Amino acid sequence: MKEIHTIAEMSLLRQQPSGSLGFVPTMGYLHEGHLSLVRKAKAENQAVAVSIFVNPTQFGRFLPAAEEIYPQGFNSWVKVEGVTERLEGASRPGHFQGVTTVVAKLFNIVRPDRAYFGQKDAQQAIVIKKMAADLNMSVEITVLPTVREPDGLAMSSRNSYLNAEERRSATVLFKALTVVRERYERGERNADLLRQEMISLIQGNPLARIDYVSIADRQTLEELSNIDRPALVSLAVRIGKTRLIDNILLG
Amino acid sequence: MKEIHTIAEMSLLRQQPSGSLGFVPTMGYLHEGHLSLVRKAKAENQAVAVSIFVNPTQFGRFLPAAEEIYPQGFNSWVKVEGVTERLEGASRPGHFQGVTTVVAKLFNIVRPDRAYFGQKDAQQAIVIKKMAADLNMSVEITVLPTVREPDGLAMSSRNSYLNAEERRSATVLFKALTVVRERYERGERNADLLRQEMISLIQGNPLARIDYVSIADRQTLEELSNIDRPALVSLAVRIGKTRLIDNILLG
């Protein structure tokens, strides 16, 4: 394993022929979810690159360590419109422009054949696929299932912020999604009713505060009244001060 | 010479090893200026690609022929901020976002080692260099001198719109730039005075209507009061209904 610290080193390395390259972009705090991406990348490619970069433009502030990625005077952006305006994009203005810009930069630096993302960040995966398709990026995007703790909580670096009581409450996200899945499998297609059930279930938990619950078209992320096509069921809930997200696919 | 009509054909061709590739993006109406770019690209690379695509997003409308480049639902953009807000960007809102998006797409499709642009579109060259640097695009941008008619008029597809009288008037752009160059070479550094001289000279021509005259920092395009650093002297002038641009570099 090589550790690479500069863009110049990476460019130099990519000038040598190396066969197909899989790429897993991360922001550190590696957990089992990231490792599942690395394993798949390793199985499908002759080499794997993992980046660790805490992207300041996703969080609305700049860190000094980011100077090589965002040198002084940096002023170019990649943005996806439409699908970025809903869900996470509505709650976190500018977030996805930060994501698409840094991912486009990393793709240009690393020049992977395939890149791997987790289903946990469902909207991010949709946005990156759209960016890659619209801008003719020659990289294949693979999205892998969310990895969960034994009680169903989706793996996330943010879980470490939860105290013991909050950690127990945090399972409410997956419980709400599971209720929707079970009701869907028994034939329920009324999205308004299912959203209301999620809301009631989560509101029954005193530590949980809903940011959004959504049952949406899986491509456009437009909210559905009836689940008559492939859907993304997603939610964002604050448990104490920690904002958690999760989702499942239906259909 | 191969003619390529689809993105798929181009991608396939680029999977074969071909040595270094030079790239000249054009919008058709090829003239001697474009040919100078092709010649340089040929001298510096083992192969040359020339694209001909009239980019609808630069002109605020979509043409049916553009469907492969902008399929239905297309919604991703590359933008450079700051330097795009001045000169051409101020006169033509959205223009540079159309330029940077299509050039980024063409770079991803063609994957050239080097790309060649004309100094005639000075701001475009600055914007594309900035985009390539900020977004870590692995392509070297070369800008070549403006090719001119014997009387100094910069080559442009738009020159064909001029009637005989307008064609004679059109030399006023290069005349104004030449006066500035001569005065600069004799030691004049007062940009306000030189801009005023350009304005007076052009206003003396009854068919000419000034859009802008500018003497600006060559990197940031901020207007200068004194020419105390490398400068871009540029102007946009309507001759009848035809909008022409031209520029020279000082220092």
Output the DSSP codes for chain A: -----SHHHHHHHHHS--S-EEEEEE-S---HHHHHHHHHHHHHSSEEEEEE---GGGTT---GGGGGTS-TT--EEEEE-SGGGSHHHHHSTTHHHHHHHHHHHHHHHH--SEEEEETTSHHHHHHHHHHHHHTT-S-EEEEEPPPB-TTSPBP-GGGGG--HHHHHHTTHHHHHHHHHHHHHHTT--BHHHHHHHHHHHHHTSTTEEEEEEEEEETTT-PBPSB--S-EEEEEEEEETTEEEEEEEEE-
In this structure, the answer to whether residues B93 and B117 fall within a common structural domain is yes
Which pLDDT does position A45 carry in this prediction?
A: 97
Contact A79 B76 (CB under 8 A): yes
- The answer to the question of residue B27 being in a domain is yes
Give the CATH number for residue A215. Answer: 3.30.1300.10
Q: Is B149 within a domain?
A: no
Q: Give the CATH number of the domain where residue A91 resides.
A: 3.40.50.620
Q: Are residues B15 and B112 in the same domain?
A: yes
What are A21-61's pLDDT values in tens digits? Answer: 999 999 888 999 999 999 999 999 999 999 988 887 776 54
* Structural domain contains residue B151: no
Beta-carbon separation of B74 and A137 below 8 A: no
pLDDT digits (tens, 9 = 90+) for B43-85: 999 999 999 888 877 765 464 468 899 999 999 999 999 999 9
Structural tokens at position B4: 């390529």
A68 touches chain B (CB under 8 A): no
A125 and A202 in a single domain? The answer is no
For the segment A61-75, what is each residue's pLDDT rounded down to a tens digit?
A: 464 468 899 999 999
Instruction: Write down the pLDDT at residue A59.
Output: 63
Pick the last residue of a domain from B144, B166, B188: B144
- Residue B1 maps to a domain: no
When divided into structural domains, chain B yields a total of 2
Q: Is there a single domain that holds both residue B71 and residue B130?
A: yes
Domain shared by B37 and B133, yes or no: yes
Token pair listed for B191: 């940009």
A31 assigned to active site: no
Give yes or no: residues B135 and B60 share one domain: yes
- Distance from chain centroid for Cα A211: 17
Mean pLDDT of chain A: 94
pLDDT tens-place string over residues A174-193? 999 999 999 999 999 999 99
Does A110 have pLDDT greater than 50? yes
Same domain, A115 and A177: no
- Tell me which of B113, B144, B175 is where a domain ends: B144
Question: Quick check: A78 and B135 CB within 8 A?
Answer: yes
Count the residues in chain B: 251
The domain in which residue B78 lies consists of 7-144
Which of B89, B110, B144 lies at the terminal end of a domain, its last residue? B144
From B5, B31, B34, B95, active-site residue = B34
Name the closest residue on chain A to residue B8, using Cα atoms.
A136
Residues A55 and A122 reside in one and the same domain: yes
Asked whether residue A115 falls in the same domain as residue A180, the answer is no
Q: Residue B150: inside a domain, yes or no?
A: no
Count the Cβ atoms, other than its own, within 10 Å of residue B141: 19
Q: Chain B within 8 Å of A134 (Cβ-Cβ)?
A: yes
Same domain, B101 and B128: yes
Interface membership of B7 toward A (CB under 8 Å): yes
Q: Are residues B22 and B117 in the same domain?
A: yes
What is the pLDDT, as a whole number, of residue B99? 97
Residues 73 to 102 of B: which have CB under 8 A from any A CB? 73-83, 100-101
Interface ipTM:
0.93
Residue ranges of chain B whose pLDDT lies below 70:
59-65
Confirm or reject contact between A109 and chain B (CB < 8 A): yes
Q: Does one domain contain both A138 and A19?
A: yes
Does A222 reside within a domain?
yes
CB contact under 8 A, A78 and B78: yes
| B15–chain A Cβ distance below 8 A for any pair | no
